[in-house]
Chain A
Amino acid sequence: MTATVAAPAATAPVSQIQVRRRWTQHGLLFVAPFLLIYVVFLVWPTVLGFRMSLSSVNIAGGNNELVGFANYAEAFSDPRMWHSLWNTLVFTVLSTIPLVLLGLAFALLVHNLRFLQWLWRLSFFGPFLLPSAVIAVLWLQMIYPPDYGLLNGTLGTHVLWLGDPDVAMWSMVLTTVWWTVGFNFLLYLAALQSIPQHLYDAAAIDGATAWTKLRSITLPLLGRTTGLIVVLQLLASLKVFDQIYLMTNGGPEEATRPIIEYAYEVGFSGYRIGYASAITYILFVLIVIVSLGQLRLLRKREEALS
């Protein structure tokens, strides 16, 4: 790299050697501030969390003795852990499918419209910008109430959206899809805009219909984007907590309680921080597996680009 410096040392105020030294100067100092915060607030808690998951520590820091893998053994024989893990997986599957498909559908629709782009973007992406507490309070207080809520009032139905254990999870999915589909919509929209127009022009000369263009140009070229969106969506859904905790508190009859909420209850209401850590680390393993899939997709993408 340094060999390409063109200016002759004699005419320049600094020598070649000094220029070379500048390249290697201060490297660690640039990294140091981030590294300090990263080690204290991410690396160390990751290690500490694992240490805590092997101990019987309570929230006050007392009773901090190692118990080996007892917490994990307890978790694997705890029906409430399995139930909340199952809820998390059900939520993940039920939410990921419509979030990806609707995101794609909205993007295709808006991409092909020539009017009022800003309005469609604001409508579909707007809810994503609202904090989870706003979403939860709005749906809990004014949309889902069985008597005066907007949903039953408009549809003329009498569904117990949050009170019926068979319905509540679907209601969580509905709110979540409404709230976050805008993110996938934007990612798909960006991907659609990067498809070169000349591909469509060439197809038009060959007399291709809109349907053929969609099937043989657009969708194949969105393949890699779809892979990434699915992985990002799986990761986001596995970590679900806010809206469920705030709207149903995991109920009714624990029908919606996700695993993070169970860990929160065990650790922060039940004071068993050690056991709570073990529960979150079980989820952690699942998330790492999905993340490794993401890394593989990113690498494939880079290979394809270069």
Chain B
Amino acid sequence: MTKRFSPSQIILLVIAAALAIVWIAPIAWAVATSLKPEAETTKLPLQWFGSELTLDAYRLVLATGGIVKWAINSTVTAVVVTFMTVLFSAMAAYGFARTQFRGQRVLLVVILAGIMVPPQVLIAPLFAEMVSFGLVDTWWSIILPQVAAPLIVYILYKFFQDVPLELEQAAFVDGAGRWRVFFTIVLPLSRPVLAAVSIFTFITTWNNFLWPFLVSTDPNTMTLPVGLANVVQGTFGLRYAQIMASVVLAGLPLLVVFVLFQRQIIRGVAHTGLAGQ
């Protein structure tokens, strides 16, 4: 077991390498196509490399497409959703875990029940609501419904219940108020779990399609996934190198973030994915 190059290790390594190649192939194909001259993208038999490597497709997409604008929209909405979700959910979770007020139990049950309500089921009434608020085609219509995430409240509620009381009590005795205790003691103590739910929220918001697609008809407010879907149904026609350049540009940000923060992301997804284990 301790030998690094045992025969079983080599067999496993070969299997893993083969699977990894299959799994990476579609993404590699997108990158390869985006680097070909446009005329060679559909040449048969298939070739991974064209007669030259060119960045023309990227240059054209960045110059003519809306991709930069959509990336900004995606970043702004995902950052605002993540910030609001984590702050408000942490406050609510702390309120439920550490304070007492009238109707607390009933409210907690109402919030936990909300975990079962999938956003996809609410598209019709939510859209009607956005129309009556006059928020269609604004950032707020994309942001606000995604902040109502009861799962995050539940995860943080479970976490705060397990934080020892002594630290907070000592601060109260020293005269600190509720809010100061929350912001200067409880939140810093919870940094790992807050990072986990932040990452999870950011990824799901960044990748969300259906809701932003329904509420943005104006290319100026579209997020990256919505804009990309629109472009392919419309203006680019059959310019495959450019389409693949857009695909690579739209997919790249989260992959880079993953390479940089692999450990935190894995913990965030595993932790939040299993609903606060």
Q: Give residues in A with beta carbon < 8 Å to B.
A: 1, 4-5, 7, 12-14, 19, 22-31, 33-35, 37-38, 40-46, 48-49, 52, 57, 59, 61, 106, 109-110, 112-115, 118-127, 129-134, 136-143, 147-148, 150, 153-154, 178, 183, 186-187, 189-190, 204, 210, 225, 228, 232, 235, 239, 241-242, 246, 260, 263-264, 267-268, 273, 276-277, 280-281, 283-284, 287-288, 291-292, 298, 301
Contacts and interface: CB of A to CB of B under 8 A. Distances in A.
B118 A235 contact: yes
A134 B16 contact: no
A31 B206 CA distance: 26
Interface of B is mostly: helix
A263 B104 CA distance: 36
Interface residues of B, number: 109
Nearest to A284: B121
B157 to A, nearest CB: 11
Contacts of B174: 12-14
Contacts of B20: 119-120, 123-124
Contact of B110 (A23, A40, A43, A134): A43
Given A23-B99, A42-B148, A30 B244 contact: no
B51 interface: no
Interface of B: 1, 4, 8-9, 12-13, 15-16, 19-20, 23-27, 29-30, 33, 41-46, 84, 87-89, 91-92, 94-96, 98-102, 104, 107, 110-111, 114-118, 120-129, 131-132, 144-145, 147-148, 150, 153, 165, 169-170, 172-175, 177-179, 181-182, 203, 206-207, 209-210, 214, 224-226, 228-229, 232, 240, 243-244, 246-247, 250-251, 254-255, 258-259, 262, 266, 269-271, 273-275, 277
A287 B116 contact: yes
Given A13-B174, A13-B175, A133 B250 contact: yes
Given A37-B84, A41-B126, A148-B41, 12 more contacts: A25-B178, A41-B144, A41-B145, A43-B110, A49-B125, A59-B127, A109-B19, A127-B27, A142-B29, A147-B44, A242-B210, A268-B214
B229 to A, nearest CB: 4
Contact of A143 (B29, B177, B229): B29
